Amino acid sequence: MSCGPGVARFSPHVVVTHLVKLACALADEARRSLSLWTCAELARTLVRDGVVESISPQSVQRILSSHRLKPWRVHYWLSAKVPRDADFLRQTNEICELYTRELEPHERVFCVDEKTSLQPRTRTTATLPAQPSNLPVRLEHEYKRKGALQLFGAFDTRSGTVIGICRNRKRQEDFIALLTEIDRQTPESVTHIHIVCDNLRMHKGKRVRAWNHQHSRFQFHFTPVHCSWMNQIEQWFSILQRKRLSAPNFDDLAELESKIESFIAEWNERAHPFRWTKTSFAKIIAKAEDSLARAA
């Protein structure tokens, strides 16, 4: 191993072993106040601990690469607080069927949710467009806060079209306003409107249930807890974020709402569904089935 000129206090094998052990521990355990390791911080810690006199971040990266270690990356996971039980399996199979089976002419499936706290972030100076000679778009760092909007959205899983309304708050009556708009825009020949949403209390409240009782063609399907990835509107929200909201600079809430409405209209002109198959659910269904079999 080459760490640089005259740098090793121990044999290369000892240095590599110490580095790998360090990278496989949280920085706090090594008495470093860091969220995540970087190659530079690992190199600095090796020097602090007296393992080497000096070592470059590039050398650290080469060693970690040979061990397929990337301690600066984060992958979110969920501990087993929510059991993969029969109810979980039933809900997952239910959502899978809604997304993958051929719908009857009288059916529609909408995925609904809210994208919250959308802020105008009015800049103190106008945004400047890109220019030749490799000059990027220039966005003023300073901005003024002017409140926030909540976007209530519904994604038609077969056509890809989106229905969206903006509200200042996030309450049952605002959610009902979205359901009413879905009802208004869906032909009367469609007698079964399937609504896929998460388990937020707002989606299950008394007012929503009362509204549903008066609109019997609506049927609610709730995703399992901590499984927001099963809701296709989240995919569309990520597109909205990337293409319209990544560099916000709107005069006020009214302009922000107008621009969101325009984006939805442009999307619907060329709308397309997302491709979901049974394979999309196969891994989590197999894991749930295995968990149930071992518990039996």
Kindly report the CATH number assigned to the domain that includes residue 286.
Answer: 3.30.420.10
Instruction: Give the tens place of pLDDT for each residue, 46-69.
Output: 999 999 999 999 999 999 999 999
Is 158 contained in some domain?
Answer: yes
For residue 112, what are its two tokens?
Answer: 């609904």
Instruction: Give the tens place of pLDDT for each residue, 33-52.
Output: 999 999 999 999 999 999 99
Provide the 10 A C-beta neighbour count for residue 199.
13
> 280 is in which domain, residue-wise?
86-124+142-291
Is 136 contained in some domain?
Answer: no
- Residue type at 64 in one-letter notation: L
Name the pairing type of β-strands 143-144 and 107-118: unpaired
| Shared-domain flag, residues 182 and 58 | no
Give residue for tokens 């949710």.
113
Is 253 contained in some domain?
Answer: yes
| Shared-domain flag, residues 116 and 248 | yes
Residue 289 clears pLDDT 90, i.e. is over it? no
Is 6 contained in some domain?
Answer: no
Provide the 10 A C-beta neighbour count for residue 22.
21
Is 132 contained in some domain?
Answer: no
Give residue for tokens 């790998």.
20
| Shared-domain flag, residues 111 and 32 | no
Is 80 contained in some domain?
Answer: no
Instruction: Give the tens place of pLDDT for each residue, 71-85.
Output: 999 886 655 556 678
| Shared-domain flag, residues 105 and 151 | yes
Residue 1 pLDDT: 45
- Residue type at 19 in one-letter notation: L
| Shared-domain flag, residues 45 and 94 | no
| Shared-domain flag, residues 20 and 111 | no
Percentage with pLDDT > 70 across the chain: 94
| Shared-domain flag, residues 61 and 115 | no
- Residue type at 278 in one-letter notation: K
* Helices assigned H by DSSP within the chain: 12-23, 39-48, 57-66, 86-100, 172-185, 206-214, 233-243, 253-269, 279-295
Distance of CA 165 to the CA centre of its chain: 21
Instruction: Name which of 175, 160, 151 is nearest 236 in CA terms.
Output: 160
| Shared-domain flag, residues 56 and 150 | no
User: Could you give the CA distance from residue 142 to residue 120 in angstroms, rounded to a whole number?
Assistant: 12
User: Could you give the CA distance from residue 8 to residue 21 in angstroms, rounded to a whole number?
Assistant: 17
Is 32 contained in some domain?
Answer: yes
Burial of residue 208 (CB within 10 Å: 0-12, 13-18, 19+) is buried
| Shared-domain flag, residues 90 and 207 | yes
| Shared-domain flag, residues 110 and 219 | yes
User: Could you give the CA distance from residue 123 to residue 174 in angstroms, rounded to a whole number?
Assistant: 29
- Give Cβ neighbours of residue 4 (< 8 Å, ≥ 6 apart): 54, 55, 56, 59
Domain count, the chain: 2
Residue 20 clears pLDDT 70, i.e. is over it? yes
Name the pairing type of β-strands 192-197 and 107-118: parallel
| Shared-domain flag, residues 61 and 92 | no
| Shared-domain flag, residues 40 and 120 | no
The per-residue DSSP string of 110-131 comes to EEEEEEEEE---EESS--B--B
Is 230 contained in some domain?
Answer: yes
Residue 242 clears pLDDT 50, i.e. is over it? yes
